[in-house]
Structure 1
Amino acid sequence: MRILVLGGGGFIGRHLVAELIGNGHQVVATARHERRLRGAIAGMSVLELDLAKAIQPDDWAPLLAGIDVIVNAAGILRGRDMQRLHVDMPRALYTAAEAAGVKRVILISAISARPDVETDYAKTKLAGEELLRRSGLNWTILRPSLVYGDGSYGGTSLLRGMAGLPWLMPVPGAGDFAFTPIHLSDLAHTVRRICEEDDFAGRVLEPVGPETLTLRRLLMRYRAWLGLGPAYFVKVPMPLMRLLGRIGDWLGDGPIATNSLAQMIAGNAGDSVAFAQAIGFEPRSLDAVLTARPAQVQDRWHARLFFLVPAITAVLALLWVASAILGLTTGAAKTTELVSALGWPMALAEPLRIGSSLLDLCLAIFVLIDRSARRSTLAQLIVVLGYSLLIGFALPALWLDPLGPLLKNLPILILILVHGAIGDKR
C-alpha cells in the first residue's frame, strides 16, 4: 500500500514510517523542512509541507493521488497553531481524502484527550476526532497513553531528565499520577496492523502497555536503568508546579508547560487487557524493554543535560543583558580607551558604545526565541569572536590581565557551542 504519514519527522512519526517501510509499504511522509528528514529512512519519500497552512481541500487534492491510507500523527501540545493543526487542517484533509477515494484514515490522538480535561489541547484533539467520525471515510482513532522509546522526546525526555538529577528527584504533588506506557515499536506495530486489516474500521482504541505505573515508579525504574544510584523524592507543591507551567508557557519552550501538567493530572492509565485483546498481541512491559536495551553513556548524557539546556539558555541571555546594561551605564571610559587605541576618531566612541549595547540586547532576545538554537549560536559566535579580536588587537595587555576579561571569552565560546549542540530538542 501507499501510505501518507503526517508528522513523519516527529518522535512517533519516524517510527511509524520505519515500521511501514520495513514491512513492504510505500511511505510518503510530510515534514515542515524536507532537508531535516531527507535520507533519514531509506525508501521514504518526503513531502515538504507546513501542515498549519494546508487548511483548504485544494491544498491536499494534488497530494493524495495514489494514496491508500493516511496516518495522521501530527500534533502539538502548545502553540498558536493548535487549532489549525488539530482541526482546520484535518477538516480540509478529510474532505480531499474522501474525494480522492482514500481507503482508510488513522488518527493518533491521546488517552487524556477527554471532555473533562479543560485544555485547548484536549478540546482541539476531540474536535479533530469528531471531524473524522463524521466524515465518510473508513477511520480508526488511537488514543495512546505515554509513548516511550529507545530515545525520548517531550514528556519522556522530561522523565529521563528528572530521573537523571543528582541526589534529589522532584515530583509534582505526591507523584501518584498514573500511566500505562507503551513502547514506540508496539504502537508502530499497532498502526501497521490497522493499515493492513479491515477489522478496526470505526473503532477507538487506547494503545497501552501491560502495566500501570505511578510517576514515582516510572522515575525509579528509569533511574535504576540509567545506573545513577539512589535518590530522594522531593514533593513540589502543585501551586508551584502551575507557576512553573505558566513560566514555561511564556518562554514557549520550557521543560514544563500548563498543558503538559494538566494532561498529566488528568490521568493516562488505560485497560491493558482490553487493548491486547483488541489488537491481537500483548505489548512489552517497561521492564522487558529496559532489560533488553541496557542504558548507554549517551542515555546518561541526555538525562543529565536535559535541565541544563534551559539553564544555559537563561545564563547566556542574562550574560548579554548584563553586557548591554553595563555598556549603557558604565562603558563610556572603556569605549573611549578602545577607540583611542585603534586610532579611530573620538566621535565614534558614543555610537560604538550604544550600538554594541543594543546589539547585546538583541542577542539576548534572539537566544530566548530561537528554538533550534542554530542561528543564535552562529550570531553569538560571530559577536564574541569579533569583540575578542578587536579588543585583543587594540588592547593586547588584556590577554594577560589576572582577572581575564578576554580569556573568559574562551569558555563562553565553548558554552555557546554546547548550547548550539544540545539546544534543538526536536
Structure 2
Amino acid sequence: MTCNPKEKMMKICVLGGTGFIGSHIVSTLIAENHQVVIGCRDAERAKMIFPDAQCFKIIAGISSSQQFVEALQSCDAVINTIGVLGKPGTTLANDAHIQLIETLIAACKQTNINRIVHISALSLEENITSEYADTKLKGEQLLCQSNIESIILRASFVYSTGSYGGSSALRGLCAMPFAALLPNGGKQKFQPLWAFDLAKIALKACTSSLPAEQNFQTLSIAGPETLNFANILQKTRRWLGINPCKIISMPLIGAKIMGKIGDYFPLWGFSTAVVSQLNTDFIIPEEQKNSLGINMRSMDKVYQTHPSFVQDRWHSKLFLARPLLALFLALIWLGSAIAGFMTTPEHLRTILPQFIAASPFSLYLVYLFSIIDVYFAVKILLGKWSNKLWLSQLALVILYTVGLTVVSPALWFDLFGSLLKNIAVIGLIGIMLSIANDR
C-alpha cells in the first residue's frame, strides 16, 4: 500500500487508535506515510505498538477540551472510532458518544481543524430503543450541527483476521465442536466489511468533497455481499480450518434473557445491546452504498489471501474457555467462603494444632478470609477483571498454602487433597492472569 507522491502528507488524529477499527486505521495511515496522533486510554501501550505515532491519553467523560487542544495542534483532520456498548446504570455510552463529541468539537474549533471523520454504525434508527443507538445518533447530530466539516461513516459488520468484541464472540462460536446455538438460527443479514477497506475509506474521507452547501455528509458503508450470520460463521470456521457445524436456533426470548443476565454478569459476552444488534439486519440497498471509490473485497477473497494460523485457533477456543475458567474460579471462592462460614471450633480442632484451634481469634480469622473469598467471587462474576484482582487471588492462595503448611503440614497428605488442590488453583489463576485482558 503506497501513497501517490502528489498527494499531500497529512497529520491525522485517530481517537480510539488502539481499538479494533482504530488500529487498522492507524496502520493504514502509517503505511501511507501520514503523521499520526493517537488518542486512547493507555498512551504508553499505544506508543509501544505504534512507536512512530504521537500518543496522548483520553478518558471519555473525564478528559478536558484543553487536553485535546494540546494534542490536536497542527492536525489536518480527526478520525473518531470510539464506541462502547455501555452497561446499565453507568454513563459509559453517554460519555463516549455525546460528551466526548462535545469536547472534540470545542477543541477542533480552537485549533481550526475543519474535518472530522466519525465512525458510526448502520441501522441506528431501527435500534433507537437501545442506549447504544440513542447516544450514537445524538453524537451524530452534534457533529451535523457543529459547522465543522464532518463525514459520518455508518459501517456494517466489520471483521478482520484479528478480532475484538463482536468478532471475538464470532471466533468463540467457531470453536463449538458440533453445533452452534444462534439467536433466530443465525438468519440475521449482514454485509461484512473488511476493516482495512473501512480504513481506506476513512482516509479518503479526510479529503473528499462534501455535497454543495453542506458541512456534513452521512455515508452508508457495507461490504460487496449479503450474508446471514450463519453463513459468516461457517466461512470463518473454514478459514480457521474447522469443519462446518450444525446450526441450532435459539428462541429470541432466550437470547433476550441471556442479554439481560449479561448486562450484570458479563462472563459470556452477551448483553442487551448485543442482542439488539443481532436482532437487526445490517444491510443497505446497492444504490445507497458509498465507498468513496474504494474497491471492497468479499469475505472469501479476504480469507483466502490472509490465512489463519495456530494462534487464531487458540484464540477461538480460549474465548469459550475463558468464561468457563472464570466461572469455575468464582465457584471455588464461593465454596471456600461457605465452608468457612460453616466452620465450628470443633472442626478447627481436627485440622489445626490444639494451641491454635483453641484461640478465640482463629474462628474470626476464618470468617475474615471467607468474606474476602466472597469479594473475589463477586468481582469475577461481575466481570470486574484486572491484573490486580488476579494477583490478589494468587497472593491469597499462596498465603493459605504456606500458612497451612507451617501450622498443619499433614494436610498435604489429606485423602481429599486439601492443599494439593491449591497447586491447580494457582495454575488456573495464572492462566486467567495471562488471558483475561481482552484489549
Residues 375-384 or 349-358, more deviating:
349-358
Structural RMSD (CA): 2.1
Task: Report the alpha carbon displacement of residue 154 of structure 1 after superposing the two structures with TM.
Answer: 0.9
Q: Aligned runs of 1:109-124 on 2, under 5 Å?
A: 109-114=120-125, 117-124=128-135
Which residue of 47, 59, 63 maps to 2:56?
47
**Do residues 195 (structure 1) and 195 (structure 2) align?**
no
Preserved contact between residue 208 and residue 271 of structure 1 (Cα < 8 Å) = no
> Does structure 1 residue 346 correspond to structure 2 residue 375?
no
Matched, 1:283 2:296: yes
| Residue pair 2:186, 2:228 contacting (<8 A) in 1 also | yes
Indicate whether 1:403 and 2:416 are aligned: yes
> Is 1:332–1:353's contact at 8 Å kept on the other side of the alignment?
no
Q: Which runs of 5+ in 1 are unaligned?
A: none
Q: Is the 8 A contact 2:18 2:46 kept in 1?
A: yes
Cα offset for 1:252? 4.3
TM-score (norm 1): 0.94
Amino acid of the structure 2 residue aligned with 1:168: A
Match of 2:370 among 332, 341, 357: 357
User: Relative to structure 2, which stretch is displaced further, 364-373 or 104-113?
Assistant: 364-373
User: 46, 65, 88: which is aligned to 2:73?
Assistant: 65
How far does residue 395 in structure 1 lie from its aligned partner after superposition? 1.9
1:84 equivalenced with 2:84 (yes/no): no
Q: Which one of 304, 320, 324 corresponds to residue 311 of structure 1? A: 324
* Residue equivalent to 1:75: 83
CA distance in 1, matches of 2:304, 2:36: 32
Question: Are the counterparts in 2 of residues 7 and 31 from structure 1 also a CA contact under 8 Å?
Answer: yes
Tell me by how many angstroms 1:254 deviates: 3.8
Task: State the partner residue of 2:38.
Answer: 29
Unaligned 5+ segments in structure 2 are 1-9
- Corresponding residue number in structure 1 for 2:171: 160
Whether contact under 8 Å (2:79, 2:116) holds in the other structure is yes
For the residue of structure 2 that corresponds to 1:143, the secondary structure is strand
Please tell me the residue identity of whatever aligns with 1:285: S
SS in 2 for 1:308: helix
1:234 Cα offset (Å) = 1.3
Say yes or no: does 1:206 pair with 2:220. Answer: yes
1:43 deviates by: 0.6
Query: 267, 279, 286: which one pairs with 1:265?
Result: 279
- Which is worse superposed, 343-352 or 108-117? 343-352
Q: Deviations over 1:75-97 (max 9, x none)?
A: 10123211121112212321331
Inter-CA distance 391–57: structure 2 relative to 1 (3 Å threshold): closer
| Percent of paired sites with the same residue | 32
TM-score normalized by structure 2?
A: 0.91
**Residue 160 of structure 1: CA displacement?**
1.4
Say if 2:41 and 2:58, in contact at 8 Å, map to a contact too. Answer: yes
Whether the aligned pair in 1 keeps the contact of 2:266 and 2:381 (CA below 8 Å) is: no
Q: Please say if residues 379 and 385 of structure 2, whose CA atoms lie closer than 8 Å, have aligned partners that are also in contact.
A: no
The residue type paired with residue 43 of structure 2 is E
279-288 vs 323-332, which deviates more?
A: 323-332
Three-state SS of the structure 2 residue aligned to 1:39 is helix
**Mapped partners of 1:223, 1:14: distance in 2:** 24
Tell whether the 8 Å contact from 2:267 to 2:381 is kept in structure 1 after alignment: no
SS of corresponding position for 1:205: strand
Which one is further off, 297-306 or 239-248? 297-306
Give the 3-state SS of the residue equivalent to 1:112 in structure 2: coil
Q: Secondary structure at the match of 1:294?
A: coil
Answering whether residue 147 of structure 2 is matched by residue 133 of structure 1, we say no
Q: Deviations over 1:297-346 (max 9, x none)?
A: 11111111212222222221111111111111135444345552675872
Question: Contact conserved, 1:210 with 1:282, CA < 8 A, in 2?
Answer: no
What letter corresponds to residue 51 of structure 1 in structure 2?
A: A
Q: Is the 8 A contact 1:98 1:136 kept in 2?
A: no
Q: Deviations over 1:119-138 (max 9, x none)?
A: 11111111111111111111
Q: Deviation of residue 374 (structure 1)? A: 1.2
Answer whether contact 1:167 1:231 (CA < 8 A) is retained: yes
Deviations 1:199-224 (A, max 9, x none): 57632112211111001111111112
